Structure 1
Amino acid sequence: MKVGKLPTSLLKEVVFSELTNRSEEVLVRPSTGEDCAVLDFDKYVCVLSTDPITGAVEDIGKLAVHISCNDVASNGLQPIGIMLTILAPTNTTKEDIRQVMVDANKAATSIGVEIIGGHTEITDAVNRMVISTTAIGKQLKSKMILTKGAKAGDIVVMTKHAAIEGASIIAKDYYHRLKGKMNDTQINNAIAFSDQLSVVKEGVIAGEFGVNSMHDATEGGVLGALWELAEASKLGIEVDIERIPIKAETKAICEIMDINPYRLISSGVMIITVDEEKAQDLIEILEKEGVEATRIGKILKENRLIKQAGKTTNMEEPDTDELYKVIEGHK
């Protein structure tokens, strides 16, 4: 099988199909595009999301915190706590573990989340460090926002710029491959994209504003997130790819590595759908709070389309994230 998360079709066939037991307290259970489980706690709900970090070497403590907290923020709320599990190979040092915890604590502090538990283990089952986190949040049931909540006619708004996480990982982990083809300033700018990985701020703002759906862009990049949002909502989507913001540093990295920036892991980007008449107000509020926001498309009743250079093509189901092509090519 290919490296990376399972394609949607395979998830449905071999994972979701095997989940048969049901509890009445579960309001949201596994499905395409829904990265959080939601449990009924009377007038409140408990929102949980879990994710591993497998595609990065540097800053994995930081990445691990943000990736799960971003999922919870996609439901429009501030995460409360996070559980963190570290599986480290046998050549790991005490200082390696310490650095992971320093980075994780710094990231958690920056978004007001407490690391409330987890597990740390040295094991020969892995050949490099793997971190898995579970983020937990609490929300009024009446304010739940789900990926599947998009409506036909909604405007699609994207925050920040494409491939934030992927460009940062490649710039840091493959610095010597880029050096000589990009100058140090460009590479360091890309590395610094990791300071933009959290979408908690925009998730909370959009939740309070009242949007119809949200989905953070992780594996599969911006196009993958757009497809998953449409799939979750059982609707179509049209995106103008030329409106998707992308930094010059990201373009340069992707050209050197021969990968597609729109399908490169993009933690730090939130995809939001909102009623057309409210879209500009949302964009202005986000930008007033220092969050770049761009209108990139609309939700359709059917068909998933990409507009580019005056042509319209069908949007394809997400495949292996472009980051894994880089990793596989440098083993």
Structure 2
Amino acid sequence: MFRTLLFVLSFTTLLSCDTNFNGSDVTISNRTILVDNESYLIKGICYHPVPKGSPNIRSWETLTQDLELMKEAGINTIRFYAPVDDIKVLDEIDQAGLKVIIGFGYNQGGTFDIESGTFIDYVNKYKNHKAILMWELGNEYNYHPEWFGDDIKNWYNAMNDAAGLIHTTDPKHPTTTAHGDLPDALTLSLSPNIDVWGMNVYRWDKPESIFKEWEAVSSKPMYLSETGGDSYMKIAKAGYEQGENQKAQADATKNILKEIFENQDICSGVTVFSFTDGWWKAGNNDVQDIGGSAPNSTGVPYDGTPNEEYWGVVDIDRNKKQAYSVLKDEYLSVKKTNK
């Protein structure tokens, strides 16, 4: 059913392609991402701005303030977990000089999702926008085979078909995915249409091993689509006190970014998780709760526990945490290297 739908959509898309392209031309050369023929290093942040007391509904009320903080920190890329169907938001991001990675979920109630095929409507609507960097398909779905009839190959086939359709309608922007850690040989064989592999990597504060592992299995570009640490220690460990602990988060951020930028021959950058604390993720949405859960998260520094509402480099009121200063120092000082 899904493949048949994609075939029909692909045919209609070919008839409706816009030849008046005004956006950035994003291409791949070996392991390098190029924007208008210039090497592009992702110095990014994951961004899902949900206000206090709100369920998981984004708000753009603080967008101007947030973009100012991002620009100050040297951030050049925003990773969104779901499409942003608001031209004013994308325009403001572009005017601030930032690019976006737009994520599509498999099932989003038929709104710009992969299952219904309506994701391609969004691609067609915004493919000429200057803010677009890449189109992302799925987030850590490899941890959830139960969503796909207990056979994760069903997801990889759907992902690959969707990426192929994007190639048909928008040859100017690459496809990517946010895979949970390193994809295995089967995954790679089923997903040739993915151009850039994003990986959500939590290996304490030492991600360097994944770059060697990736180099051994693929010649495509990769980046870390999620990494970092939270600012709460469930237990005292590794010299860090129990409780809210911004120093633990800052130290982890510094160590992680150092290893990423020392491996630019393999890694095209990072979107650190996350810009702001998310009070909606565990318990009462009106307060900041301790706890939460995430799959395969024992590698979270330094207590092995993801306190889901403490991941921001700024807090919910946009006060800068220590990790913000570390990220700013690293992003503003790093130099692109020739691969």
- TM-score when scaled to structure 2? 0.30
Quick one: higher RCO (CA 8 Å, sep 6+), 1 or 2? Answer: 1
Write 1 or 2 for the structure with the bigger share of helix.
1
Write 1 or 2 for the structure with the bigger share of strand.
1
- TM-score when scaled to structure 1? 0.30
